[in-house]
């Protein structure tokens, strides 16, 4: 029986439908896939495994975009990794593991195909490399979140104006009331302090990228509580949070003791933070080593109190909000154990309409703050004192500008190089009154800290007008009040000077001659930022790589690291610790009289500083002549420091997954 005329078209339609279905199924099975494991992370810093497959004709420019929140537009990623970071990428399949910081929002991941032909030269990263293109999306993942009830994060401590107090700050996802519970025993944290809460908004940001979709992310709620009536020099245990939203892990600190005859501090500038991905800005991989070695030293102190001093250029977020989260997550292991003190730098504050911008400072104050105008810095930290300056916008006033405190036998002063320090200004009046009021019987040593240096032999001319004004207005105060030590950041190297008065070295009295106590200036901006300036060349060889070391410069080093201060009633010792080995590479000793010892140079063999468990920090100084060692090791130390800095930068530039060649630019 032959089919009816109507059945033939029907049969053909069915066959066509089957063929289309098979083709779609085949196409679907070969489409790129992107999966993540697990879908829920327990806490900030946990790792996710990102896997992909079926990427046809893989290119070494194919890339993985990291997004938070998940609905961010394609070009508003927080970071990216090229798929060639996976060894098997050329097969079209691979995987990448990433530790993720909690930004109080879910994550998602997307794979893009990118070729060199549509490169957009208007979208460049911090090293002037093109940011990857987003025109061709290949696949995207399901969202990833963080488990509820994990408690607040980004815990950090600070001193208040009262010796028997400790400030505790942290971040949470909402404004619901949180607390600090604490006690002298981990199993008996019966005391409770309520934390107040604050927040800033996108409209508080002053300029791009901080107030744009690319840079702005919800910063969460900043909580600030104070533990009171602490005993002197006692270890306290604490945690932060609430029963309804969860508690943090238990941390501990040793309370301050101004009656102590010993002071220990860890000091540096310009550290920043590291990220496990590339982003719009250059991040600071060396900051990981700096935190690691300081944590080693803190643990070795046992139950001795200490604190950290970070003198400007804190996170290098520069308008990209999530880098603040990354920074606080990175320092929490240290900052939850000891007070973490800061002063403001150009990358926290500078912006085109800042209120104090005198004519001579046109080359000094530019757009280094990325539009933040000091707002995240002002709310995420709370330093002693009540210094502030209005921003002139709807943004809250800029805080934490200048303050001081005693710690054991040392009086520490913090100043702002970004706001008015001229005679008649509130800051100048504070510095003058504070230095004149120091009780040198109680605190025989005075240490002043600020971001931009008064003295440097780096080839950095942009700040020359500021250095002239600082020499004119601030140096006389330091000299008159016999400041012992002045620490600066901004230049990303270590450099120690002789005791100075207007570029002139003071006599040390080593041969019985008359001497006068002048301040020792030290540049300590070597904690993480990887752009390193060259030293100033000779005037008659401006284009040759010849770096003369003036007589006033006693030691210059190109290695990343930090400084460690240990002081007793009789002597203050400042040591420069290198990140590649955790050993001391330079040291200077200052007596309570102001006389400076072993000031003839430095090097790894000049002495050793070891943090003895339970015994504090002991200093063993070589008996051999400092002058002889300085003469023999000065050139070698400077050269090796430069080579190590170069190797570190080269390794970063050639790391797997990097497609573009980094071009270092001036970024202080």
Q: What is the pLDDT of residue 24?
A: 45
Q: What is the pLDDT of residue 622?
A: 34
Q: What is the pLDDT of residue 398?
A: 97
Query: Mind listing the pLDDT tens digit for each residue in 271-294?
Result: 999 999 999 999 999 999 999 999
Q: What is the pLDDT of residue 140?
A: 97
CB 408 within 8 A of CB 263: yes
Residue 338 sits at φ, ψ, to 5 deg, of: -135, 155
Query: Mind listing the pLDDT tens digit for each residue in 432-454?
Result: 999 999 999 999 999 999 999 99
Rounded mean pLDDT, 8-36: 60
Q: Across the strands, what pairs with 589?
A: 573, 597
- What string of DSSP letters covers 183-240? ESSTT---EEEEEEEE---GGG--STTTTSTTT-----EEEEEEE-SPPTT-EEEEEE
pLDDT band at 533 (very low <50, low <70, confident <90, very high): low
Q: What is the pLDDT of residue 657?
A: 39
Q: What is the pLDDT of residue 337?
A: 98
User: What's the Cα-to-Cα distance from 6 to each of 1, 16, 224, rounded to whole Å?
Assistant: 14, 16, 80
Rounded mean pLDDT, 11-30: 50
What's the sign of the alpha-carbon dihedral 72, 73, 77, 83? positive
Provide the CB-side half-sphere exposure for 630 (13 A, CA): 18
Q: What is the pLDDT of residue 652?
A: 41
Rounded to two decimals, the pTM is 0.87
| pLDDT at residue 356 tops 60 | yes
Greater pLDDT, 392 or 466: 466
| pLDDT at residue 179 tops 50 | yes
Tell me which residue of 387, 151, 160 sits closest to 168, measured CA to CA.
160
Q: What is the pLDDT of residue 635?
A: 40
d(CA 205, CA 253): 34
The alpha helices in 249-360, defined as continuous H runs, are: 287-300, 322-335, 346-349
Query: Mind listing the pLDDT tens digit for each residue in 288-325?
Result: 999 999 999 999 999 999 999 999 999 999 999 999 99
| pLDDT at residue 644 tops 60 | no
Q: What is the pLDDT of residue 12?
A: 56
| pLDDT at residue 666 tops 90 | no
Query: Mind listing the pLDDT tens digit for each residue in 365-410?
Result: 999 999 999 999 999 999 999 999 999 899 999 999 999 999 999 9
The token duo for 277 is 């991905």
Measured in whole angstroms, how far is the alpha carbon of residue 65 from the centre of its chain? 24
Q: What is the pLDDT of residue 444?
A: 97
Least-confidence region, from 370-379, 425-434, 453-462, 510-519: 510-519
The token duo for 374 is 């000091």
pLDDT band at 8 (very low <50, low <70, confident <90, very high): low
CB 291 within 8 A of CB 337: no
Rounded mean pLDDT, 39-44: 95
Rounded mean pLDDT, 570-586: 97
Rounded mean pLDDT, 19-36: 65
Query: Mind listing the pLDDT tens digit for each residue in 590-631?
Result: 999 999 987 554 433 323 333 332 333 333 333 333 333 343
Q: What is the pLDDT of residue 217?
A: 98
| Consecutive H or E run containing 633 | helix 626-653
Rounded mean pLDDT, 571-594: 96
| pLDDT at residue 664 tops 70 | no
d(CA 456, CA 464): 10
Rounded mean pLDDT, 168-175: 98
Query: Mind listing the pLDDT tens digit for each residue in 218-240?
Result: 999 999 999 999 999 999 999 99
Percent of the chain with pLDDT over 70: 84
């Amino acid at each position: 029986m032959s089919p009816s005329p109507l059945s033939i078209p029907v049969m053909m339609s069915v066959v066509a439908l089957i063929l289309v279905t098979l083709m779609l199924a085949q196409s679907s099975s070969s489409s790129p896939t992107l999966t993540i494991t697990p879908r829920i992370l327990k806490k900030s810093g946990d790792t996710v495994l990102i896997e992909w497959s079926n990427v046809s004709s893989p290119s070494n420019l194919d890339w993985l975009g990291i997004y938070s929140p998940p609905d961010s537009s394609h070009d508003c990623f927080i970071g990216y990794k090229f798929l060639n970071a996976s060894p098997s990428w050329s097969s079209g399949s691979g995987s990448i593991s990433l530790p993720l910081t909690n930004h109080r929002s879910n994550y998602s991941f997307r794979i893009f195909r990118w070729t060199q032909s549509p490169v957009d030269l208007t979208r460049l990263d911090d090293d002037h490399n093109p940011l990857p293109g987003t025109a061709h999306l290949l696949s995207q993942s399901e969202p990833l979140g963080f488990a509820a009830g994990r408690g607040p994060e980004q815990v950090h401590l600070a001193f208040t104006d009262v010796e028997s107090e400790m400030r505790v700050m942290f971040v949470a996802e909402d404004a619901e009331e949180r607390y600090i519970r604490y006690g002298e025993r981990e199993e008996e944290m019966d005391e409770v302090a309520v934390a107040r809460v604050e927040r800033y908004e996108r409209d508080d940001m002053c300029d791009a990228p901080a107030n744009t979709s690319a840079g702005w992310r919800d910063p969460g709620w900043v909580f600030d509580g104070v533990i009171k009536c602490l005993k002197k020099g006692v270890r306290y245990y604490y945690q932060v949070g609430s029963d309804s939203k969860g508690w943090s892990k238990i941390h501990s600190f040793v309370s301050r003791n101004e009656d102590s005859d010993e002071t220990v501090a860890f000091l540096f500038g310009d550290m920043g933070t590291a990220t496990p991905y590339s982003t719009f800005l250059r991040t600071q991989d060396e900051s990981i080593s700096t935190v690691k070695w300081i944590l080693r030293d803190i643990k070795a102190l046992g139950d001795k109190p200490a604190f950290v001093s970070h003198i400007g250029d804190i996170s290098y977020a520069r308008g990209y909000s999530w880098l603040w989260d990354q920074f606080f997550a990175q320092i929490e292991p240290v900052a939850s154990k000891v007070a973490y003190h800061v002063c403001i730098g150009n990358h926290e504050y500078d912006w085109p309409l800042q209120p104090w911008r005198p004519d001579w400072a046109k080359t000094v104050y530019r757009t280094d703050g990325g539009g933040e105008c000091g707002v995240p810095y002002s709310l995420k930290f709370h330093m002693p004192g009540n210094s502030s300056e209005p921003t002139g916008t709807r943004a809250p006033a800029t805080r934490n500008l200048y303050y001081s405190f005693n710690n054991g036998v040392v009086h520490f002063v913090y100043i702002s190089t970004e706001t008015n320090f001229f005679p008649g200004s509130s800051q100048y009046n504070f510095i003058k009154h504070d230095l004149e009021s120091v009780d040198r019987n109680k605190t025989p040593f005075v240490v002043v800290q600020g971001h931009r240096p008064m003295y440097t032999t780096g080839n950095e001319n942009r700040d020359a007008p500021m250095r002239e004004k600082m020499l004119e207005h601030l140096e006389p105060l330091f000299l008159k009040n016999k400041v012992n030590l002045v620490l600066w950041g901004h230049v990303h190297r270590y450099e120690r000077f002789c005791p100075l008065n207007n570029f002139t070295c003071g006599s040390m009295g080593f041969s019985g001659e008359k001497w006068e106590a002048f301040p020792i200036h030290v540049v300590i901006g070597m904690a993480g930022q990887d752009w390193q300036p060259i030293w100033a060349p000779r005037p008659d060889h401006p284009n040759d790589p010849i770096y003369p070391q003036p007589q006033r410069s006693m030691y210059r080093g190109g290695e990343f690291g930090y400084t460690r201060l240990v002081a007793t009633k009789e002597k203050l010792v400042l040591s420069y610790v290198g990140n590649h080995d955790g050993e001391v590479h330079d040291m200077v000793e200052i007596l309570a009289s102001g006389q400076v010892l072993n000031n003839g140079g430095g090097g790894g063999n000049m002495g050793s500083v070891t943090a003895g468990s339970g015994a504090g920090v002991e200093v063993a100084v070589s008996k051999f002549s400092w002058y002889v060692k300085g003469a023999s090791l000065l050139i070698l130390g400077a050269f090796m420091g430069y080579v190590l800095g170069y190797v570190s930068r080269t390794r970063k530039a050639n790391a797997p997954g990097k497609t573009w060649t980094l071009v270092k630019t001036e970024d202080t």
